[in-house]
Amino acid sequence: MGPAPKISVFMEIHQIRYMCAVAETGSFTRAAAREHVAQPSLSQQIIKLENELGAKLFHRFHNQIRLTEFGKAFYTRAQDILRAVSSVKSEIHDMAGIARGLVRVGVIPTVAPYLLPRILPQFSKNFPDVRLAVTEDITPVLIQKLQEMVIDIAIVALPIQGAELVRQELLWEKLYAVVPCDHALAQSDSLCLKDILAEPFLLLKEGHCFRDTVIAACKRVKAAPSIVFESGQFPTILGMVAAGMGVSVVPEMAVEPRAGCKFVPLEDEKARRRIGVVRLQNHFRSRPQREFMTYLSGYIAEAAGK
């Protein structure tokens, strides 16, 4: 590999942004859609950037785009540049007392569909100059994105390990057994976890933190679930329960009227889930981020008081 290409002072921010978009989506078409620009225009800007650098950034195959060695080296620096620009803009807006800018939020899949539709529309109405970018993924991926500063905050289940992380608990919720409506246990006002563990058990896949919560609860009662089906989504699990394929456990957030399912609270006081927000300790907190956190905490406190 030869010497690293020289970076021209004529390089433009939008060219760097387009390059990162191609690297992250693996496609000029998807990158153009993400950046809301015509594909020919995006491609032309990438070529101009490569000409400025004097090196190719991408291997262009028939249906595949890959970073070259130069591209990999440049991509890392390009991310730093975009983060620095975003941080400076946020600090200037903050000094000017303006709630304007981008808040990048990561949320786990067992929270996103139940919480976000309730809070995002009103927040956007209250703060029209704040743009929200939401990533839904499992906890390990979100923590990695947080450490890489791809997202600003992550809404996850606690506890989370990491000395570099700041945690703020938002709420805790009870766990519920979910059984078919025609099951004998459906008539109960409450259940012990042991009551359902002998039944065919439906559970989230590995990687989902709620699976770990359920397994930990099972260990406390010194029993193990008889898992017959795994899924990445609660709706699929609830559909299988309604079809009589087994029983499961869900957090209070996921309890809602559903044909064929009966939700019964678990008696174990320790059988609960804690939800919180995690952020990097030394990461600059912009005013939009603080406003989002204030709104989120206020909404949850108000909902808990009803």
- 123 and 255 belong to one structural domain: no
- Select from 59, 91, 123 the last residue of a domain: 91
Q: 294: domain CATH number?
A: 3.40.190.10
Q: 264 and 192: one domain?
A: yes
Please report how the helices 39-53 and 13-25 are oriented relative to each other, as an axis angle in degrees rounded to 10. 110
Would you say residue 247 lies in a domain? yes
Domain region containing 128: 99-170+275-305
* 141 and 279, same domain (yes or no): yes
* 8-state DSSP, 3: P
Angle at which helices 28-35 and 39-53 cross, to 10°: 110
Residue 239 shares a structural domain with residue 213 = yes
Same domain (yes/no): 187, 261:
yes
How far apart are alpha carbons 110 and 209 in whole angstroms? Answer: 9
Q: Read off the amino acid at residue 180.
A: P
26 and 86 housed in the same domain? yes
The pLDDT value given to residue 102: 84
The predicted pLDDT at position 270 comes to 81
122 and 249: one domain? no
Domain boundary among 72, 91, 110: 91
On whether residue 27 sits in a domain, the answer given is: yes
The alpha helices in the chain, defined as continuous H runs, are 13-25, 28-35, 39-53, 69-95, 112-126, 139-147, 194-197, 209-220, 234-242, 287-305
Q: How many domains, in total, are found in the chain?
A: 3
Instruction: Indicate if 184 and 262 belong to the same structural domain.
Output: yes
Could you give the CA distance from residue 55 to residue 161 in angstroms, rounded to a whole number? 41
What does DSSP say about strands 165-180 and 248-251: parallel, antiparallel, or unpaired? antiparallel
Cis status of the peptide bond prior to 159, with omega within 30 of 0: yes
Name the residue among 74, 265, 271 with its Cα closest to residue 177. Answer: 265
Phi, psi at 274, each rounded to 5°? -105, 130
Report the CATH number at residue 36: 1.10.10.10
Q: Tell me the CB-side half-sphere exposure of residue 106, using CA atoms within 13 A.
A: 24
153 and 297: one domain? yes
In a domain, 85, yes or no: yes
Whether residue 109 is contained in a domain is answered as: yes
* Domain's final residue, options 73, 91, 109: 91
Instruction: Give me the tens of pLDDT residue by residue for the chain, a chain 306 residues long.
Output: 455 544 444 578 889 889 999 998 888 998 998 888 999 999 999 999 999 888 999 998 877 889 999 999 999 888 888 777 766 666 665 555 556 778 999 999 999 999 999 999 999 999 998 989 999 999 999 998 888 878 999 999 999 988 889 999 999 999 999 999 999 999 999 999 998 998 999 999 998 999 999 999 999 999 999 999 999 999 999 999 999 999 999 999 999 999 999 999 999 878 889 999 999 887 767 888 888 999 999 999 888 775
Report d(CA 88, CA 77) in Å as an integer. 17
CA–CA dist 201, 230 (Å, integer): 9
User: 141 and 189 in one domain?
Assistant: no
* Residue 201 sits in the same domain as residue 251: yes
Element (H, E) at 66: strand 65-67
The pTM assigned to this predicted structure is 0.70
Looking at the fold, whether 107 and 83 belong to one and the same domain comes out as: no
At residue 156, the pLDDT reads 96
